[in-house]
């Protein structure tokens, strides 16, 4: 497992925790706090998808 894979797994786990917090407390949080949690979480999901697609294409 290379360092990029380790970093992506850590980012995805952190995004999952942030997404779970957002789902649980989303209506109770102020808007700015929801944005602070939601933007990195959505960015991490997009980056993970790009990384996995790149890995799949490299293996072909």
Query: Tell me: the pLDDT tens digits for 5-37?
Result: 787 777 778 777 877 777 777 777 787 777 777
Asked whether residue 54 carries a pLDDT value surpassing 80, the answer given is: yes
pLDDT-derived band at 46, boundaries 50, 70, 90? confident
Q: Is the pTM of this model over 0.75?
A: no
Instruction: Describe the chain by its helix, strand, coil percentages, rounded to 5.
Output: 85, 0, 15
Domains of the chain, residue spans: 3-59
What is the average per-residue pLDDT within 41-51? 78
Separation between Cα atoms, residue 26 and residue 3, nearest integer Å: 33
């Amino acid at each position: 497992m290379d360092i990029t894979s380790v970093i992506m797994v850590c980012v995805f786990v952190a995004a999952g925790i942030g997404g779970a917090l957002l789902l649980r407390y989303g209506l109770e949080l102020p808007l700015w706090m929801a944005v602070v949690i939601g933007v990195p979480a959505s960015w991490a999901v997009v980056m993970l998808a790009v990384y996995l697609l790149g890995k799949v294409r490299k293996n072909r």
